[in-house]
């Protein structure tokens, strides 16, 4: 290889290295800017809500001197910019403050309740995706036929029916009358202390301990709420999958593939669905994020001790530190899953990697 050829190769490699470096810097800057905006929004929410944080601490019967002392201790006498600075520093250190309701650090409370929401949301999104995507593809392929109409009706019911009503109806039918599933809660008290909680996700903890009777009890409690949330997710995912697939099946490359004699199964599953998967990733990620934020009504109906129920109790008791901590965690979940979906684009679409 000549000196000029080697120089050209090195210049090309350096160009790609610089481009990748700028891409990493842009990605890091996007994360930083988004997180800063999330912090600012959360801080402002805590200042505009009509709840006095001092009264939440000292009570409405405290003397004026006690009120003033608490006001200063909470840093509310400082300028707004200084309060935001101190708030940012505490959050970056992992300190969301103390819950007025539980008297524990909010980080500990969230770490205690989040595994329950994670378990419920993960099972639900798996059900919704594994059923919703094939059903949506089938509806698109059979557009206008009976199969398509049935899928659209089921999706409409799942997407529009009140989730708390479906939950109450499910408890009445499958728990109270038929006895097919366990009732509210995550596990019966008879099994709760038979194993060590390592991850907080009871399906995993009971399996690790080999407590299969407790594992079955956990599945029985999880089955109904996870199925209902999975049905809700499936309705949305199948609807969007159908829409994306109809757009792809109308493209010229599909017509060309059919003219060339490519099998219909390969066209649908190997080409059209692969291209539709790029926008579908965002749909699934946002559906998962909405479940991870804590399905408040579902967790309330099924007495599921997750993030949604913790947030509801905090709101009802004006525990603003806990509310803001949960809001920040929920925002971080949405931001994180959005960024993850952007990274998956490059895996699913080579054009993104070259851009």
Task: Say if residue 51 is in the same domain as residue 115.
Answer: no
Rounded to 5 degrees, what angle do the CA atoms 193, 198, 200 make? Answer: 80
Task: Say if residue 52 is in the same domain as residue 137.
Answer: no
Going by pLDDT thresholds of 50, 70 and 90, the confidence category of residue 76 is confident
pTM, full prediction? 0.81
Residues with Cβ < 8 Å from 176, sequence gap 6 or more? none
Per the document, the length of the chain is 355
Task: Say if residue 159 is in the same domain as residue 259.
Answer: yes
CA 109 to CA 274: how far, in whole Å?
41
Choose the final residue of a domain: 60, 92, 124.
92
In a domain, 112, yes or no: yes
Task: Say if residue 41 is in the same domain as residue 178.
Answer: no
In a domain, 267, yes or no: yes
CA 297 to CA 269: how far, in whole Å?
36
pLDDT at 352 over 70: no
- Which range has highest mean pLDDT (2-6, 59-63, 184-188, 320-324)? 184-188
CA 32 to CA 10: how far, in whole Å?
33
Which residue shows structure tokens 């595994």? 115
Q: Which domain holds residue 132?
A: 106-354
Give tens-digit pLDDT for 80-94. 777 788 878 888 887
In a domain, 100, yes or no: no
In a domain, 101, yes or no: no
CA 326 to CA 323: how far, in whole Å?
5
Give tens-digit pLDDT for 135-180. 999 998 888 888 888 888 888 887 777 888 888 888 888 888 888 8
Task: Say if residue 203 is in the same domain as residue 264.
Answer: yes
What are residue 98's DSSP bridge partners? Answer: 105
Choose the final residue of a domain: 64, 92, 120.
92
Task: Say if residue 120 is in the same domain as residue 50.
Answer: no
Task: Say if residue 76 is in the same domain as residue 225.
Answer: no
Q: Cβ-count burial of 321 within 10 angstroms (0-12 exposed, 13-18 middle, 19+ buried)? A: buried
pLDDT at 37 over 90: no
CA 213 to CA 144: how far, in whole Å?
47
Task: Say if residue 119 is in the same domain as residue 225.
Answer: yes
Task: Say if residue 207 is in the same domain as residue 80.
Answer: no
Task: Say if residue 218 is in the same domain as residue 270.
Answer: yes
Choose the final residue of a domain: 65, 92, 119.
92
Task: Say if residue 19 is in the same domain as residue 114.
Answer: no
Indicate which CATH number applies to the domain containing 247.
1.10.3720.10
Under DSSP, is residue 319 helix (H, G, I), strand (E, B) or coil?
coil
Under DSSP, is residue 51 helix (H, G, I), strand (E, B) or coil?
coil
Total domains, the chain: 2
Task: Say if residue 119 is in the same domain as residue 189.
Answer: yes
């Amino acid at each position: 290889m000549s000196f000029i050829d080697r120089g050209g190769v090195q210049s090309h490699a350096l160009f790609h290295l610089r481009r990748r470096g700028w891409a990493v810097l842009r990605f890091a800057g996007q994360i930083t800017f988004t997180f800063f905006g999330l912090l600012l929004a959360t801080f402002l929410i805590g200042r505009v809500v009509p709840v006095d944080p001092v009264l939440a601490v000292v009570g409405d019967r405290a003397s004026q001197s006690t009120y003033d002392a608490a006001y200063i201790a909470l840093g509310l006498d400082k300028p707004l910019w200084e309060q935001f600075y101190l708030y940012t520093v505490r959050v970056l250190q992992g300190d969301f403050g103390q819950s007025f309701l539980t008297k524990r650090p909010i980080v500990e409370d969230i770490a205690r309740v989040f595994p329950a929401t994670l378990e419920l949301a993960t099972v639900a999104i798996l059900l919704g995706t594994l059923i919703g995507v094939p059903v949506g593809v089938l509806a698109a392929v059979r557009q206008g036929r009976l199969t398509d109409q049935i899928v659209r009706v089921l999706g409409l019911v799942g997407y529009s029916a009140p989730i708390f009503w479906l939950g109450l109806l499910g408890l009445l039918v499958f728990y109270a009358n038929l006895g097919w599933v366990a009732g509210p809660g995550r596990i019966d008290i008879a099994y709760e202390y038979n194993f060590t909680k390592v991850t907080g996700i009871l399906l995993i903890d009971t399996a690790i301990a080999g407590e299969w009777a407790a594992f079955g009890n956990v599945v029985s409690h999880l089955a109904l709420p996870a199925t209902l949330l999975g049905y809700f997710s499936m309705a949305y995912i199948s609807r969007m999958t159908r829409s994306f697939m109809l757009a792809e099946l109308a493209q010229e490359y599909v017509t060309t593939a059919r003219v060339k004699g490519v099998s219909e199964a390969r066209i649908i599953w190997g080409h059209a669905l692969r291209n539709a998967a790029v926008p579908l990733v965002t749909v699934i990620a946002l559906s998962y994020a909405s479940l991870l934020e804590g399905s408040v009504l579902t967790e309330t109906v099924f007495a599921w001790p997750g993030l949604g129920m913790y947030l509801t109790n905090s709101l009802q008791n004006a525990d603003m530190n806990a509310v803001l901590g949960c809001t920040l965690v929920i925002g971080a979940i949405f931001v994180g899953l959005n960024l993850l979906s952007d990274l998956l684009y490059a895996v699913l679409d080579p054009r993104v990697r070259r851009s």
